[in-house]
Amino acid sequence: MRSWSFFAIALSIGALLFALTLWVRNDYLFFAGYVVLQFVVLATAWNILGGYCGYVNFGSAAFFAIGVYSAVAANKLGSNPARFLPDFVASGLAPLLPLPIPVLMLIAGLAAGVVGFGMGYLTLRLRGVFFAIATLAMAVVLQTLIINWDFVGGSRGAYIVRPAKAALGPVAIGYIEYLFAIMLLLAVIALTIARLIERSRLGYGFASIRDDELAAEACGVPTLRLKLIATTISGALMGMAGAPFPFYIGYVEPAAAFGLPYAVNSIAMPMIGGTTSWVGPLLGALVLGSLQQIATVTISSAVNLLIVGVLLVGFVVIAPKGIVGLVEDWRHARAKP
């Protein structure tokens, strides 16, 4: 199936989902759904570097947070341009303000992509294991920088005022519905990109790096360049997922934005779903994300993290190829006479 067809179909499914949720008239579904969709994006993004290339990124939270804080910073700049920018720039920008979320997402994606590239450049020459540790290090360094950056509130945090209503084309809808729709679109885009990569020359290159980087080099694969591409795309998508978050939650502080749940879920969801294709992260995010939402509401949020940890360890030990792998094996077994 060509990628445009896939995109169109996924978009239609998304639109259907959106309409259904609207029809049910339960605001909670939008709040919970937003979080699950956000994880679809994060898991898919992580998998591009982690599953396809085999480079584990422990710093997903950092890229997410870059997205969050780019949006906060840009929003703050936009709310009072005269104070921060020279006059002619401020008046030039005026008709564009306040910056709509899609624009903030692009800014966030750009920022996160640049950081992804930079981080990759510094760390991708390292063996896989050292790369993983280095990503952890970068996340902490970044968090420390943000905590000490007063413009975005530092450790005190920053408040974002959420508008009451928004427009989706000619139709006026509630704000949370608007955020949900945006995240849905981003999820469809992320899945399309992942699928496109998977089936392309790039995807083969990634797979060769994952399987045996030395042999890949000998076959002419420019491994460093490909890894940088993966890191940049992965980082950019995660940043874009973070941009609407301040508007979703109203108040951001570094501990939450850099929270461990983001790092763990970005890794757990693809590993549980299956890392070799775009389906895995989607499945993992849907299953695990929904489980966590249910657990948070019914039991407690500490327990929901326990679920993630146990499932991760369980799957990694027993079913390393994830849900996708299990299904494949089952089909294989059934096909044999």
Residues that bind other proteins (CB under 8 A): 50, 54, 56, 58, 122-123, 126, 128-130, 132-134, 136-138, 140-141, 143-145, 147-148, 155, 201, 204-205, 207-208, 210-212, 214-224, 260, 264, 267-268, 271, 275-276, 302-303, 305-306, 308-310, 312-313, 316-317, 320
Residue closer to other proteins, measured from CB, 237 or 308: 308
Residue 304 CB: number of other CB atoms within 10 A? 19
Residue closer to other proteins, measured from CB, 94 or 310: 310
Which residue is associated with the tokens 């898991």? 43
Residue closer to other proteins, measured from CB, 22 or 202: 202
Contact at 8 Å (CB) between 178 and 277?
no
State in angstroms the smallest separation of the CB of 43 from other proteins.
Answer: 13
State in angstroms the smallest separation of the CB of 316 from other proteins.
Answer: 5
Residue closer to other proteins, measured from CB, 1 or 218: 218
State in angstroms the smallest separation of the CB of 267 from other proteins.
Answer: 6
Contact at 8 Å (CB) between 75 and 250?
no
Contact at 8 Å (CB) between 227 and 267?
no
CA 67 to CA 116: how far, in whole Å?
12
Residue closer to other proteins, measured from CB, 94 or 306: 306
CA 319 to CA 311: how far, in whole Å?
10
CA 239 to CA 61: how far, in whole Å?
9
State in angstroms the smallest separation of the CB of 42 from other proteins.
Answer: 16
State in angstroms the smallest separation of the CB of 2 from other proteins.
Answer: 13
CA angle 267, 269, 270 (to 5 degrees): 75
